[in-house]
Amino acid sequence: MTANTHIPAKTPDQSETVMTEMVLPNDTNNLGNLMGGNLLHWMDICSAITAGKHANTIAVTAAVDNVSFQHPIYGGAIVTLKSRVTRAFRTSMEVAIEVYTETMESQEKVLTNTAFYTFVALGPEGKPVPVPPIQPANPGDRERYDAALRRRELRLILAGRKSPKDAPALQALFGAVQP
């Protein structure tokens, strides 16, 4: 799981991606608001660009978690997506994405959605390959970097790929697991 210290680290700034879309009639549900699935599609593209730029190779989505839909996004709205790598592991990376919505009239950005995506870098043979470690660039990056380890342990436990006994960061948070 440990980061690849033999590869030079990169900062989240180096792969940050900002993408802007406008909600058109074909993107909406029967209420005239943006369909959740269309938003997830945009979020997947934005975060895949970030992961691919960090890894310098194609990266596939392995998991999506903690997607929140805090407000409806109305037809005609301007949607800005911003993604950053929070932490890189051996072949996988966690990408945090934030979605801001504004109208032409207000031009005031409101945070409407957040999520964490996990991507795995693939080499020419389609197999997972090592990725550069992340060097947090500011206190916010450092906080997300530290918490990413707990999120990784939890998602791998929920995916049946890890035992709670092998999750030291979660144990430190919740107390040691009893045998």
Which residues of this chain interact with ligand COA, rule CB under 6 A? Answer: 1, 60-63, 89-92, 118, 120, 128, 155-156, 159, 161
Q: To the nearest whole angstrom, how small is the minimum distance from the Cβ of residue 102 to ligand COA?
A: 29
Q: For CA atoms 40, 121, 144, 137, give the dihedral sign.
A: negative
65 Cβ partners below 8 Å, 6+ apart? 115, 116, 118, 151, 155
Task: Measure the CA–CA gap between 78 and 90, rounded to whole angstroms.
Answer: 36
- Give the shortest CB-29-to-ligand COA separation in angstroms: 21
CB of 93 to ligand COA, least distance (A): 8
DSSP state of 5: T
131 touches 111 (CB < 8 A) = no
17 and 83 Cβ atoms separated by less than 8 Å: yes
The smaller minimum CB distance to ligand COA, of residues 90 and 109, is found at 90
Cα 21 to its chain centre, rounded Å, is 18
CB-wise, 54 or 101, nearer to ligand COA? Answer: 54
Least separation in angstroms between residue 165's CB and ligand COA is: 17
CB of 1 vs ligand COA, minimal distance in Å: 5
Q: Which is nearer to ligand COA, 112 or 118 (CB)?
A: 118
Q: Which is nearer to ligand COA, 111 or 159 (CB)?
A: 159
User: Which among 34, 37, 35, 18 has a CA at the least distance from the CA of 97?
Assistant: 18
| Nearer to ligand COA (CB atom), residue 63 or residue 169 | 63
In one letter, which amino acid is 61? T
Assess contact for 177 and 164: CB atoms under 8 A.
Answer: yes
